[in-house]
Amino acid sequence: DIQMTQSPSSLSASVGDRVTITCRASQSISNYFSWYQHKPGKAPKLLIYAASSLQSGVPSRFSGSGSGTDFTLTISSLQPEDFGTYYCQQSFSTPFTFGPGTKVDI
């Protein structure tokens, strides 16, 4: 199985801050990679797919980059509604696997 790691595991930031979360795959996954936001009691939400494509309806302050093994999610100006846990996911090969998550506190 392809292992996904994320850093940091948690962070606390202020409104307006630029926030960066990184994810690393245990082997090259090209751009078969996505990011999700998950809030307690809610359905996880797709933010970024194909490593850098913004899902429809997702604010433009979210962006993704990377290819191969190293990926980054950036929130350019953190907003109060951005709290939650962010997960990365690879879909290069089955079983699909997720990173352990990064909890973002405002």
| Binding residues vs another protein (CB under 8 A) | 32, 34, 36, 41-46, 49-50, 55, 87, 89-92, 94-101
Sign of CA dihedral 6, 87, 59, 67: positive
- Least Å distance, CB 56 to another protein, is 9
Closer to another protein at the Cβ: 17 or 45? Answer: 45
Rounded Cα distance between 84 and 103, Å, is 6
- Least Å distance, CB 90 to another protein, is 8
Sign of CA dihedral 72, 47, 60, 10: negative
Closer to another protein at the Cβ: 13 or 46? Answer: 46
Rounded Cα distance between 71 and 29, Å, is 10
Closer to another protein at the Cβ: 17 or 72? Answer: 72
- Least Å distance, CB 16 to another protein, is 28
Q: With CA atoms as reference, report the closest residue to 99 among 32, 34, 52, 55.
A: 34
Closer to another protein at the Cβ: 29 or 75? Answer: 29
